[in-house]
Amino acid sequence: MRIDIITIHPQLLESPFQHSILKRAIQKGVVEVNLVNLRDYSTYKQKQVDDYAFGGGAGMVLMIEPIANCINHLKKERSYDEILYTSPDGELLEQKACNYFSTLKNIIVLCGHYKGIDERVRQHLITKEISIGNYVLSGGELAAAVLCDGIIRLIPGVLNDETSALTDSFQDNLIAPPVYTRPQEYNGWGVPDVLMSGHSANIEKWRHEQSIERTQQRRPDLLK
């Protein structure tokens, strides 16, 4: 899979891909992440990519020209399955969407900034808009990092068996059971006996029951 992320702050996105699971996925060649600096597509001498909003008001708006130039340039190299824009008023990101995105070959993720991007980009150049929650961030970079992490860990070969994504919360509309590790007792606080029993069928059964109970308590909406 290849992900091109268009941003005015590529440095903000360097670290998330240089550690842990995402780093390994890139090293294995399972995914290629290409950070594209929007300013490289500005037609202005000062590399300007934003301007005042028509009609006035506070906040700058990313212009359509550099974004269109950038997307057109990328599209000349390969065809894209989705061109995503991170936006607080987009579709709320859920596991189902991550599953779908993880099956794609090439995607673009466009990060907005300031007051947002010229509406015509959203109308004509974007295929889907994704929100990571009902709050407003300063820019789309952290949202893009969240989105990419959610997608990349699902690509076959990225996680090993132990950390299999299939047992994570939301995959089957259940949230994950509690987990414990050494020491077996801390401060008088123990761990459930069944986990120490070595009886794998009982452990599986307990975990499933815990998942259902937790979902009923914490996220009854998932059971509907």
One of 7, 131, 211, 215 touching ligand SAH (CB under 6 A): 131
Task: Kindly state whether residue 10 participates in binding ligand SAH, applying the rule CB under 6 A.
Answer: no
- Which stretch, 4-12, 73-81, 87-95, 153-161, contacts ligand SAH (CB under 6 A)? 87-95
Nearest approach in angstroms of CB 97 to ligand SAH is 13
Task: Give me the helices (H) in 108-221, please.
Answer: 119-124, 141-152, 200-218
Specify the residue, 119 or 213, whose C-beta has the smaller distance to ligand SAH: 119
Task: Kindly state whether residue 215 participates in binding ligand SAH, applying the rule CB under 6 A.
Answer: no
Q: Would you call 191 helix, strand, or coil by DSSP? A: coil
The half-sphere exposure of 159 on its side-chain side, counting CA atoms within 13 A, is 16
| Residue where the block lists tokens 């360097």 | 14
Task: Kindly state whether residue 106 participates in binding ligand SAH, applying the rule CB under 6 A.
Answer: no
- Which stretch, 15-23, 69-77, 113-121, 177-185, contacts ligand SAH (CB under 6 A)? 113-121
Q: Would you call 84 helix, strand, or coil by DSSP? A: strand
Q: How far apart are CA 66 and CA 71, in angstroms?
A: 9
One of 8, 49, 84, 87 touching ligand SAH (CB under 6 A): 87
One of 10, 16, 66, 140 touching ligand SAH (CB under 6 A): 140
One of 40, 104, 139, 172 touching ligand SAH (CB under 6 A): 139
114, 119, 120, 126 alpha-carbon torsion, rounded to 10°: 80
| Cα Rg of the chain (Å, integer) | 21
Count CB atoms within 10 A of the CB of residue 51: 13
Residues in contact with ligand SAH by the rule CB under 6 A? 86-89, 111-113, 115-117, 131-133, 135-137, 139-140, 143
